Amino acid sequence: RREVLAAERDLPSQTLDGRAVALRANVATAIETKAANNANADGVGLLRTELPFLDTHKWPTADQHTAVLTPILSKLAGKPVTVRTLDFADDKFPPLLADKAVDGHLGRGLPYMLAAPQAFANQFRAILTAGAACDLRIMIPMVATVDELASCARILAEVATELGVPTPPIGAMIELPEAVEIASELAGQAGFFSIGSNDLTSQVLRLDRRDPAVSPALAAHPRVLQAIARTVTAAHERGLKVSVCGDAAAHPLVVPLLIGVGCDVLSVAPAALDEVRVRIRRLDARVCAEVAAEAMGFETLESVQRVVRQRCWPEM
């Protein structure tokens, strides 16, 4: 089965009716990056940078960031690479932020990082240097306000000026209901959006993402789908592209809906690239749009899944 899926690696990631859906990889290590390149990903849609620092007692230095980034970014010369800044959050935070957590919950790490702007500047310095040969984009996780994104953009621009390099596009992750609410305003400040369906799904459905019952399939719930569709509309009105980088971007019962609401890019784990490409190539974007529109009027996840199976994957 693996070989059957890999047979389409070099074919375009587009639907039967010719809608291009860029297929990128989620990576955090050089090994994953190699796997993504082997599976012919169109670069990296999410480079997670916080994982090596989950035991840190101090904000990482530029050199520490560089040591993590160089083995990954050196494999991605000339390719689009979306580097996400440190995303310490409720489910992953280091001793550095332990005193900010309440009952084991940190909430968002972004405000703490903005309170230490040198922490941002050091990471930006490392990204711009280690990624100089890449088609870089910077992505800010857990954005909740326009001011937060603007502050990040200001620090990035200062670092780029200091290094004498162009400022790469900066995008917002849309993974909080607050961000969906202000998607139009954010779109005015951002270069792109990337939907973090893992957090967005648990937030919209008011679940704890550490709960084992939380599955990528839940992104097909009508309320989550409505949030995604609102985000895409706000972005497209401003000419921005929308990526989805949560695990739902690889789920067979969610992919047709993401295409149906107009998502431009799917970013998935390297091991999922071959299968998602094959699935994109078996879908008709017009059918997906009809199914998504219908799904948003339903009450339950089960009714959405039924219509996706019937209309998109009748053999499944």
Taking CB under 6 A as the criterion, the residue among 198, 203, 231, 305 binding ligand PEP is 198
Contact 47, 81 (CB under 8 A): yes
Taking CB under 6 A as the criterion, the residue among 32, 148, 175, 284 binding ligand PEP is 175
Query: Which three-class secondary structure state does DSSP give residue 87?
Result: coil
Nearer to ligand PEP, 46 or 144 (CB): 46
Contact 169, 191 (CB under 8 A): yes
Nearer to ligand PEP, 160 or 214 (CB): 214
32 interacts with ligand PEP by CB under 6 A: no
For residue 51, the cross-strand partners are none
d(Cα 256, Cα 251) in Å, to the nearest integer? 9
Nearer to Mg ion, 76 or 173 (CB): 173
196 interacts with Mg ion by CB under 5 A: yes
d(Cα 33, Cα 27) in Å, to the nearest integer? 6
90 interacts with Mg ion by CB under 5 A: no
Sequence-distant (≥ 6) Cβ neighbours of residue 107 within 8 angstroms? 89, 90
Find which of ligand PEP, Mg ion, none residue 85 binds, CB within 5 to 8 Å per kind.
none
In Å, how far are 133, 143, 163, 247 from 201, measured between CA atoms? 35, 16, 38, 11
Number of chain positions touching ligand PEP (CB under 6 A): 10
Taking CB under 6 A as the criterion, the residue among 19, 48, 79, 108 binding ligand PEP is 48
Taking CB under 6 A as the criterion, the residue among 27, 62, 240, 245 binding ligand PEP is 245
Summarize as ranges the residues that interact with ligand PEP (CB under 6 A): 46, 48, 87, 175, 196-199, 245-246
